[in-house]
Amino acid sequence: MNAPLEAPIGFLNLPQQQSLIGPQIRQRVDAVMKHCRFVMGPEVMELEGRLASYSGAAECVGVSSGTDAIQIVLMAEGIGAGDAVFLPAFTYTATAEVPLVLGATPVFVDVDPGTFQIDPASLRQRIADVRRAGRLRPRAVIGVDLFGQPAPWPELRAIAQEEDLFLMADCAQAFGASLSGRRLGREAVATTLSFFPSKPLGAYGDAGGILTDDPARAELYRSLRTHGEGKTRYEVLRTGMNARLDTIQAAILLAKLDLFDMELDRRRAIAAAYDGGVVGRVRPPVRVPDSQPSWAIYSVLTGGAAERTAIQQSMQARGIASAIYYPRPLHQQPAYMAAHDGVSLPVAEDLSQRILALPLHPELTDHDVGRIIAAVCAQGDQT
């Protein structure tokens, strides 16, 4: 039996968000059109100040994307050929792509089956693997705050210190989340942000940022985002990038920041409703203790690939979108297989077969949330 026809529910709803703050966004963009400082205009500095104070970090450097943010942070440490950069096998491709672009080697680490975050025990094992093989120099760890929950930062800091590794946070999915009562942004030496449109704080194009408490590193990041420039534009100190944050994107983000806390509250309320609503049918994400996630993505664990397909079909039959993050762990991607030492990472491999993301965006109504839960829980009536 078909469910009665209702409006489809998309995985995201960007037009509706625009209808809420359209006038504020237009006002901000109009101001940029008037002063015409499209590159490094005053909105960039204003946004950097707002993001630094929001996160509690001393410095924020606006950049062109979350991927470029990671690249600048690793370039600043001089990471390149012969270096091992440890990162979770279960993350977005950008985390692994950057070490390779710089000539370094990504070393994939398994994740926790409950929270989906990088597993500290596997990290220790992988560092030992690399030291034993003796071909690469362990240099850095990238902790990823996956899906909007914090990575296990206290453990990662202890390992990085013991092993003398540079620790950075890929916080592309978790700006606004907090751990032990403090917002993410100061858990590692540097924290990278993405404002890709689908992230919790999304621009209307590509944009990113880097947070740090270290003024010397912040200065280096500012130089690297502008071709390695020194004190004057025509003094080139080092090989850099063209990775500045666009003024218009900064203007849009400034308008959207005013709504951000309200949106985070709504995301958290929806996640709580999902936790209680889907629990007998699928396994909700295990919460990282003492944290307030930003819920960029809300993924449940199904019993297996066949059950996942059945649930996706049940949702689709009711006009409800779903998505799989990630259908393949990175060590099994064609682009990364040659860099991988061949060890199996069983949790990441298993998750990729069973994980399923439900729509979670602040524009969902309580009625939408009820429809989504009902579609996930419906048994055997998806035709």
What residues are labeled active site?
Answer: 199
Among residues 94 and 218, whose Cβ is nearest to ligand PLP?
94
Q: Judged by CB under 6 A, which of 9, 51, 85, 144 binds ligand PLP? A: 144
Other beta carbons within 10 Å of 380 = 7
Distance CA 66, CA 11 (A): 21
Q: Which residues pair with 189 in a beta bridge?
A: none
Q: Is 318 helix (H, G, I), strand (E, B) or coil?
A: coil
Distance separating alpha carbons of residues 145 and 184, to the nearest angstrom: 9
Quick check: 105 binds ligand PLP (CB under 6 A)?
A: no
Instruction: Give the tokens for residue 247.
Output: 């003024």
Q: CB atoms < 10 A from the CB of 171, how many? A: 32
Q: In this structure, which amino acid lies at residue 100?
A: L
Is 247 among the residues that bind ligand PLP (CB under 6 A)?
no
Helix or strand run (H / E) with residue 299? strand 298-301
* Cβ neighbours for 219, distance < 8 A, ≥ 6 positions apart: none
Tell the smallest beta-carbon distance from residue 335 to ligand PLP (Å).
Answer: 15
246 binds ligand PLP (CB under 6 A): no
Site for ligand PLP in 148-177 (CB under 6 A): 170, 172-173
> Among residues 147 and 278, whose Cβ is nearest to ligand PLP?
147
The two three-digit tokens of residue 273, written as one number: 């409703």
Binding mask 336-365 for ligand PLP (x = CB under 6 A): ------------------------------
Instruction: Say whether residue 302 binds ligand PLP (CB under 6 A).
Output: no
Q: Are 66 and 194 in contact (CB under 8 A)?
A: yes
What CA–CA distance (Å, rounded) separates 201 from 102? 28
For ligand PLP, which stretch binds (CB under 6 A), given 21-29, 32-40, 60-68, 239-247? Answer: 60-68
By the rule CB under 6 A, 294 interacts with ligand PLP: no
Q: Which two tokens mark 324?
A: 């799989």
Specify the residue, 208 or 285, whose C-beta has the smaller distance to ligand PLP: 208
Residue 299 lies near ligand PLP (rule: CB under 6 A): no
Tokens 């994107």 — which residue? Answer: 249
CA dist 96 → 9, 62, 150 (Å)? 32, 21, 19
Query: Does 83 participate in binding ligand PLP (rule CB under 6 A)?
Result: no
In the bound state, the residue with its beta carbon closest to ligand PLP is 66
Helix or strand run (H / E) with residue 85: strand 83-88
Which of 311/345 has CB closer to ligand PLP? 345
Nearer of residues 144 and 282 to ligand PLP, judged by Cβ: 144
Among 91, 117, 312, 322, the residue binding ligand PLP under the rule CB under 6 A is: 91
The one segment of 86-94, 102-110, 158-166, 299-307 that binds ligand PLP by CB under 6 A: 86-94
Among the candidate windows 9-17, 92-100, 122-130, 240-248, which touches ligand PLP by CB under 6 A?
Answer: 92-100
Instruction: Compute how many other C-beta atoms are within 10 angstroms of the C-beta atom of residue 237.
Output: 13
Q: Does 191 help bind ligand PLP (rule: CB under 6 A)?
A: no
> Which of 55, 65, 149, 247 is the binder for ligand PLP (CB under 6 A)?
65
CA distance 98 to 87: 11
Q: Which residues sit at the interface with ligand PLP, rule CB under 6 A?
A: 65-67, 91-92, 94-95, 144, 170, 172-173, 194, 196, 206, 208
